[in-house]
Chain A
Amino acid sequence: MSEHAAHNEGGDVVYAQYETIEQQQESYVVGMWSFLVTEIMFFGGLFMVYSLYRWKYVDVWSKMSTELDWRWGGLNTTILLISSFFVAMAVQKAQKRETKAQINYLWLTVLCALGFLCVKYVEYQAKFHHGLWPDALYTAPHIIPHGEEGYSRIFMSLYFAMTGLHGAHVAIGIIVITTLIFMTKAKAPSVSDFVPTEMVGLYWHFVDLVWIFLYPLFYLIPK
Chain B
Amino acid sequence: MSAAAAVQEQKVEKNYLNADHTIASWLLTKDHKRIAVLYLISVTFFFFIGSIAAGLVRLELTSSQGLMLTSEAYNKMFSAHGVVMIFFFLIPAVPATLGNFILPIMLGARDLAFPRLNLLSWYLYVFAGILAAIALATGGFDAGWTFYTPLSSLYSNTQITMALSAAFIAGFSSIFTGLNFIVTVHKMRAPGMTWFRMPLMIWSTYATSVIIILGTPVVAITLFLVILERWLGIGIFSPEIGGDPVLFQHMFWFYSHPAVYIMVLPAMGVVSELMAAFSKRPVFGYHFVAFSSLAIAGLGFLVWGHHMFVSSQSVYLSVVFSFITFLVAIPSAIKTFNWTFTMFKGHVEFKTPMIYGLAFMGLFLIGGLTGLFLASLDTDVHLTGTYFIVAHFHYVMVGSATIAFMGGLHYWWPKMFGRMYSEFWGRISAITIFAGFNFTFFPQFIVGYLGMPRRYHYYFFEPGWEVYNIMSTMGATILAIGFAMPAFYLTASLLKGKKAPQNPWGAKGLEWEKAASPPVTHNFSEPVVVTEPAYNYPTLDEWPEDDAGVEAALAPQGGKG
- Please report A residues at the B interface, Cβ cutoff 8 Å: 1, 16-18, 23, 26-27, 30-31, 34-35, 37-39, 41-46, 48-49, 52, 56-57, 133-136, 148-151, 153-154, 156-158, 160-161
Question: Cα distance A197–B515 when bound, in Å?
Answer: 37
By a CB distance below 8 angstroms, the chain B residues around A27 are 113-114, 183-184, 186-188
Q: How far apart sit A136 and B183, CA to CA, in the bound complex (Å)?
A: 46
How many angstroms from the CA of A161 to the CA of B222 in the assembled complex?
12
A41 touches B114 (CB 8 A): no
Decide if B234 touches A23 in the complex (CB within 8 Å): no
Q: Is A38 in contact with B175, judged by CB distance below 8 angstroms? A: yes
The 8 A CB mask of B230-269 against A (1 = contact, 0 = none) is: 0011111000111110010001000000000000000000
Which one of B155-163, B210-218, B325-333, B334-342 contacts A?
A: B210-218
Cβ A45 vs Cβ B217 within 8 A:
yes
Answer whether A157 and B236 are a contact pair too, CB < 8 Å, given A16-B522, A17-B115, A34-B213.
Answer: yes
Minimum CB–CB distance from B86 to chain A (whole Å) comes to 20
Listed stretches B104-112, B311-319, B414-422, B548-556; interface member: B104-112
Contacts A27-B187, A135-B233 supplied; 20 other A-B pairs, CB < 8 Å = A1-B116, A17-B522, A27-B114, A27-B184, A31-B183, A35-B179, A37-B213, A37-B214, A38-B214, A41-B215, A41-B218, A56-B242, A148-B242, A150-B242, A151-B241, A153-B234, A154-B242, A157-B236, A158-B236, A161-B228
CA–CA, A23 and B109, complex, Å: 12
Other-chain residue from B30, B109, B221 in contact with A42 (beta carbon distance below 8 A) = B221
5 contacts between A and B (CB under 8 A): A17-B104, A39-B217, A41-B215, A136-B233, A150-B243
**Which residues in B have their C-beta under 8 angstroms from that of A46?**
221
Cross-chain contact B235 with A154 (CB below 8 angstroms) = yes
Interface centre among B179, B213, B216 (most CB of A within 10 A): B179
Chain A's closest residue to B527 (CB) is A19
Contact of A135 with B188 at beta-carbon distance under 8 Å, contacts A17-B115, A45-B217, A154-B243 already known: no
Known pairs A16-B110, A41-B218; A135 contacts B232 (CB<8 A)? yes
Q: Say if the beta carbon of B182 comes within 8 Å of chain A.
A: yes
Is B220 part of the contact surface with A, judged by Cβ < 8 Å? Answer: yes
Q: Which single residue of chain A is at the shortest CB-CB distance from B229?
A: A157
Residues on A with C-beta less than 8 A from B221 are: 42-43, 45-46
What is the CA–CA distance of A160 and B111 in the complex, to the nearest angstrom? 42
CB proximity to A under 8 Å, residues B76-115: 104, 109-115
User: In the assembled complex, which residues on chain B have CB atoms less than 8 Å from the CB atom of A56?
Assistant: 242
Choose one: B115, B187, B240; the contact of A150 (CB below 8 Å): B240
Least CB distance from B60 to A in Å reads: 37
Asked if B366 CB lies within 8 Å of chain A CBs, one says: no
Partner of B225, one of A37, A151, A161: A161
For B225, the closest partner residue in chain A by CB is A161
- The reply to whether A38 and B111 form a contact with Cβ atoms under 8 Å apart is no
Contact call B179/A34, Cβ cutoff below 8 A: yes
Question: Are B247 and A49 in contact, with the CB atoms below 8 A?
Answer: yes
Main secondary structure on A side of the interface with B:
helix
Asked if B233 contacts A134 (CB within 8 A), the reply is: yes
How far does the Cβ of A137 sit from chain B's closest Cβ, in whole Å?
9
Interface residue count on the B side (C-beta < 8 Å) = 43
Q: How far is the CB of A214 from chain B (nearest CB, A)?
A: 15
Report how far A23 CA is from B190 CA in the complex, Å.
11
Chain A positions within 8 Å of B109 at CB level: 17
Q: Which single member of B30, B220, B241, B251 contacts A154 (CB below 8 Å)?
A: B241
Contact between A150 and B217, CB atoms less than 8 A apart: no
- Enumerate chain B residues within 8 angstroms of A134, measured Cβ to Cβ: 232-235
| Complex partner residue of B234 from A1, A45, A135, CB under 8 angstroms | A135
In the complex, A49→B236 CA distance in Å? Answer: 8
Residue among A17, A27, A45, A46 having the largest count of chain B Cβ atoms under 10 Å: A17
Cβ–Cβ contact B213 & A38, under 8 A: yes
CB–CB A157/B179 < 8 A: no
Whether the Cβ atoms of B236 and A30 lie closer than 8 Å is no
Quick check: B225 and A30 within 8 Å, CB to CB? no
Chain B residue numbers with a CB within 8 Å of A156 are 234
User: Within the complex, which residue of B30, B113, B218, B243 is in contact with A45, where a contact is CB–CB below 8 Å?
Assistant: B218
CB of B163 to closest CB in A, whole Å: 20
Give the Cβ gap from B413 to chain A, nearest Cβ, in Å.
25
Cα of A150 to Cα of B153 in the assembled complex, Å: 16
A195 to B292, CA, bound (A): 36
Residues of B near A48 (CB, < 8 A) are: 251
User: In the bound complex, how far is the Cα of B104 from the Cα of A18, in angstroms?
Assistant: 12
Q: A1 to B187, Cβ gap below 8 A?
A: no
Q: How far is the CA of A35 from the CA of B212 in the complex (A)?
A: 11
Q: Which residues of B lie under 8 Å from residue A161 when comparing CB positions?
A: 225, 228, 234, 236
Residues of B within 8 A of A153 (CB): 234-235, 241
Instruction: Given A38-B217, A136-B233, check contact A30 B186 (CB 8 Å).
Output: yes
Q: Name which of A45, A46, A136, A158 has the most chain B CB atoms within 10 A of its CB.
A: A45
